[in-house]
Amino acid sequence: MANSEVVELALDDLELTLPVIRDWIELVTVTRFAYGPERYPVGSYKSIVDFVAVDEKRDGLTFVGSIFGGSSMEAAILSAAHAVNCIELGKRR
């Protein structure tokens, strides 16, 4: 994937939470590291937001993961605890 494509996909993901982000960015530099995989592939955030939109309409289905809370294990644990709470209370978000 070309650097320009990576930047566009990353900006698309960022715009989901910060719609004006493109106006704030003056320079983008892509650095590729050969020795480690990415945490989440570019475009993952949008895929998960789309899934969560469907998830909200289905009873008994709750997304659990760390993508919304950064790279810490705590984010996944908190989202799992939220899912369990929803199931126990028989409620959605």
Can you give the residue ranges of every domain in the chain?
A: 3-89
The residue among 64 and 20 whose pLDDT is bigger is 20
User: Does the pLDDT value for residue 5 go beyond 90?
Assistant: yes
Q: What is the pTM of this model?
A: 0.42
Q: Which of 22-31, 67-76, 82-91 has the lowest mean pLDDT?
A: 67-76
Best CA proximity match to 12, nearest among 39, 52, 45, 50:
45
Cα angle vertex 25, ends 39, 40, to 5°? 10
